[in-house]
């Protein structure tokens, strides 16, 4: 339903209090072998399934290579009322709206996963690239008209009043745009970042496509920077409260410029970051806030030199990246995040698993940068070596895959015990193969309320995750916990790839 990030309706709060009150103390059901670390995970299986999940989120006409067979063609006419083809792309979560803001962030992190750790993906690399291209083909369509960027397809307020399969969808499919008079620097710059990052992915395998992506990324960032403003002001009642830009659009502009610098090595993008970079240290990376990601990207570029001779500049990015590490590592005196009793990283806000997955990708990438430079991080009097970052990330991966007090994998279809009542329309309703007749807007209510597990297994989907006390209410009624999203899976793809070869 797109509630995963920050929004948290009062009805959800009531339900959480009610449901959580009857959840058994998870510590009482702990498997001692799990807690003592005698737990093996098949990271290759998890990697394959984490990528397969994206096929379950596809919108548009599905290819003959589609592996998640219970999904069928949907929203093939998107854009027709605007006179353009806007089919394709992804549904972000359990609903049927295409939000280009989180979709682009998903694409950026999925591309980063491949850039950093694609060499460990083996046969799955092909599918990871296909997942990226399914998004970038759509994002190219969304930015094809000069001076116009399509920001969203579908009215969330109408969509969220129905519980129906994407294949049956008959709700409003308005194509919402930002332009010169109604700007959206945040969504436009995020698209630019996604296109720039993905251009690196395809540089060696599809050079002409890579050029197209990079050229469009430059054009879209120029548009975003020239016509500044938040898409909250232009499209607020349609994008909010689900994916409003709560943190302002400047971080997206910097994030896009950082990716363009990495992709093109053009000095103008470095200069742009330097002119506009904030003095604060960001300790989070998510669809709304990219500050930590920018610092990590620029830190890597500075370590490699890239023609920059100013040691003070190089040191400034390293310091910011180090401060991010110190805000995360449990033994650091400047830690600002929480950890559950079972060891899961927590950051306030909805859909908590978006935090350990995205932060793990950053920590793992930074561990590689540190190792190549033969450096460590100093947090007060505590020295954090690259191996410590890797071990912290592994603890998060293992927790998500089942090494936790609930003995539950939070990846659907992985392990013996995983969420069976996820908040997801397509998974909840019978497939077209089982029920070829059309299900209207309200026809899905009885399936949502059913006490039976979801009939369609959305393999590889990572849900919102457990509560701070490590308990998990497996119910469709609480999307905060049970709804999967693309931007939770995207960084986890790279992290899993690393552990396929380093466990």
Q: Which residues are catalytic?
A: 95, 423, 474, 483
Q: What secondary structure letter does DSSP report for 379? A: E
384 strand-pairing partners: 377
Q: Which 3-state string (H, E, C) describes 218-254?
A: HHHHHHHHHCCCCHHHHHHHHHCCCCCCCCCCHHHHH
Q: Quick check: 129 and 115 in contact, CB under 8 A?
A: no
* CA dist., res. 416 & res. 445, Å (int): 29
Q: Quick check: 263 and 199 in contact, CB under 8 A?
A: yes
Q: Quick check: 447 and 163 in contact, CB under 8 A?
A: yes
Q: In terms of DSSP bridges, do strands 382-384 and 377-379 run parallel, antiparallel, or are they unpaired?
A: antiparallel
Q: Which long-range contacts (CB under 8 A, 24 or more apart) does 144-148 make?
A: 144/84, 145/84, 146/219, 147/179, 147/180, 147/223, 148/177, 148/178, 148/179
Q: Please, what is the Cα angle at 465 between 50 and 414, to 5 degrees? A: 35
Q: What secondary structure letter does DSSP report for 380? A: T
* CA dist., res. 342 & res. 181, Å (int): 50
Please compute Rg for the chain using Cα positions: 21
Backbone angles phi, psi at 284, to 5 degrees: -145, 150
In 409-481, at which residue ranges do the beta strands (DSSP E only) sit? none
Q: Quick check: 91 and 59 in contact, CB under 8 A?
A: yes
Q: Is 308 exposed, middle or buried (0-12, 13-18, 19+ CB in 10 A)?
A: middle
Q: How far is CA 68 from CA 209, 421, 459, in A?
A: 26, 18, 8
Q: Is 201 exposed, middle or buried (0-12, 13-18, 19+ CB in 10 A)?
A: buried
Name residue, tokens 């003070």: 312
């Amino acid at each position: 339903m797109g509630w995963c990030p920050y929004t948290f309706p009062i009805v959800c709060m009531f339900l959480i209090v009610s449901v959580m009150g009857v959840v058994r103390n998870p510590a009482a059901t702990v498997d001692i072998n799990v807690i003592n670390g005698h737990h093996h995970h098949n990271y290759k299986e998890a990697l394959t399934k984490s990528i397969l999940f994206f096929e379950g989120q596809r919108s548009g006409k599905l290819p003959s290579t589609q592996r998640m067979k219970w999904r069928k063609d949907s929203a093939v006419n998107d854009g027709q009322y605007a006179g353009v083809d806007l089919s394709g792309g992804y549904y972000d979560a359990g609903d049927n709206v295409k939000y280009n803001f989180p979709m682009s962030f998903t694409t950026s992190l999925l591309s980063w996963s491949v850039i950093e750790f694609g060499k460990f993906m083996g046969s799955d690399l092909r599918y990871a690239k296909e997942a990226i291209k399914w998004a970038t083909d759509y994002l190219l369509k969304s930015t094809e008209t000069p001076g116009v960027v399509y920001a969203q397809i579908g009215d969330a307020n109408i969509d969220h009043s129905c519980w129906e399969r994407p294949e049956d969808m008959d709700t409003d499919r308005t194509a919402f745009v930002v332009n010169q008079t109604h700007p959206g620097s945040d969504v436009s710059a995020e698209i630019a970042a996604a296109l720039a990052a993905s251009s690196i992915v395809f540089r060696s395998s599809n050079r002409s496509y890579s050029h197209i992506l990079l050229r469009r990324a430059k054009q879209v960032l120029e548009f975003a920077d020239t016509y500044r403003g938040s898409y909250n002001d232009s499209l607020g009642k349609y994008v909010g409260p689900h994916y409003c830009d709560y943190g302002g659009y400047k971080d997206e502009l910097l994030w896009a410029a950082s990716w363009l610098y990495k992709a093109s090595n053009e000095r103008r993008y470095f200069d742009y970051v330097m002119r506009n970079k904030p003095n604060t240290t960001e300790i989070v990376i998510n669809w709304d806030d990219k500050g930590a990601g920018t610092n990590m990207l620029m830190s890597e570029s500075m370590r490699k030199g890239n023609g920059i001779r100013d040691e003070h500049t190089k040191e400034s990015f390293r310091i910011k990246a180090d401060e991010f590490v110190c805000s995360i590592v449990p033994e650091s005196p400047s830690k600002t995040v929480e950890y559950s009793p079972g060891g899961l990283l927590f950051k306030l806000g909805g859909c908590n698993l978006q935090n350990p997955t995205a932060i793990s990708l950053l920590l793992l990438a930074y561990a590689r940068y540190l190792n190549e430079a033969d450096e460590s991080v100093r947090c007060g009097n505590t020295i954090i070596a690259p191996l410590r970052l890797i071990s912290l990330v592994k603890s998060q991966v293992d927790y998500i895959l089942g090494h936790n007090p609930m003995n539950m994998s939070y990846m659907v279809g992985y392990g013996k015990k995983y969420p069976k009542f996820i908040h997801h329309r397509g998974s909840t309703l019978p497939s077209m193969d089982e029920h070829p007749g059309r299900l209207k807007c309200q026809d899905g209510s009885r399936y949502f309320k059913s006490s039976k597990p979801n009939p369609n297994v959305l393999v590889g989907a990572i849900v919102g995750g457990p509560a701070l006390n490590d308990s998990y209410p497996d119910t469709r009624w609480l999307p905060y916990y049970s709804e999967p999203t693309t931007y939770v899976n995207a960084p986890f793809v790279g992290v899993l790839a690393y552990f396929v070869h380093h466990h």
